[in-house]
Amino acid sequence: MFEARLGSTTLLKKIVDALKEILSQSTLDCSASGIQLQAMDNSHVSLVAMSLSRECFERYRCDRNVSLGLDLKSLMKVLKCASGDDAVTISAADKADKLQLRFESAGNERTADYELRLLNLEQDHLAIPETDYACIVHMPSTEFARICRDLATFSESVVIACSKDGIKFSASGELGSANITLSETSKGDVSLQVEEPVTLCFAGRYLNSFTRATSLADKVKIGLAADVPLLVEYPIEDHGYIRYYLAPKVDDPD
């Protein structure tokens, strides 16, 4: 038996929304410690890892490990049947082929039960090595989203250069070019930890897809190191996160 209850569906909607474009189907791995997900995106270029530890939930019970294969678009459709302030309980019997979702309205006048068919998905379990990033940047998540959106106008590729002086995002193409530099401000909304300066180039469309998670967190953490995938991490309420990984382009700034 697996059962987990959240006080509001809004958080779950945001999480699924942050995943569903990049991952049409995926497996949730539920264990006593919480819920994990890890997968390559649909085009097998970037990688997503999500973790919600049991502390994220109002109630959490997982008698034995279960893997729940879900179609995330379908899950989103079901979540749309709930109001944002409904409490949601997801549950599955052992070896179930259905996920149960129960929505309870704030005043408890209304209960709606949904079942979502589970899928048997191939598990591509990827070990993500802990990386010692040469640069770690924290910045407002909306700012990161804004930059990714703006740079997409100029080029498919985005160059990120980070040093002690700041982090610079650049794109250039037919239209012209763009350079956005952020340095550590007194307000402390940008922070840099730089062991060694790094300059890397990434495909902007993936960066943009990562920003679907913007509403989950005020701050985003970016980790950079030479020849290692970029890390873009959005914390989820103290006890969880979504991490996106994207390998740098070998060359070819267009």
Partner DNA sequence: TCAGCATCAG
Partner DNA sequence: CTGATGCTGA
Closer residue to DNA (CB): 83 or 100: 83
Contact call for residue 219 and its own copies (CB under 8 A): no
Specify the pairing of strand 166-172 against strand 98-104. unpaired
Residue type, 211: T
| Sequence-distant (≥ 6) Cβ neighbours of residue 102 within 8 angstroms | 88, 89, 90, 91, 111, 112, 113, 114
Q: Side by side, which strands form the sheet with 46-53?
A: 66-71, 25-31, 34-40, 46-53, 240-246, 230-236, 219-224, 135-140, 191-194
CB of 63 to its own copies, least distance (A): 23
10 binds, among DNA, its own copies, none (CB under 5 to 8 A by kind): DNA
45 binds, among its own copies, DNA, none (CB under 5 to 8 A by kind): none
Contacts to its own copies from residues 64-93, by CB under 8 A: 74, 77-78, 80-81
Selected from 5, 54, 61, 98, the binder of its own copies by CB under 8 A is 98
Binding-site size, its own copies (CB under 8 A):
32
Residue type, 149: R
CB of 4 to its own copies, least distance (A): 18
DSSP conformational letter for 237? T
Contact call for residue 83 and DNA (CB under 7 A): yes
Closer residue to its own copies (CB): 65 or 181: 181
Closest CA to 157 of 135, 173, 181, 146: 173
Contact call for residue 84 and DNA (CB under 7 A): yes
Can you give the binding site for DNA, defined by CB under 7 A?
10, 83-84, 215
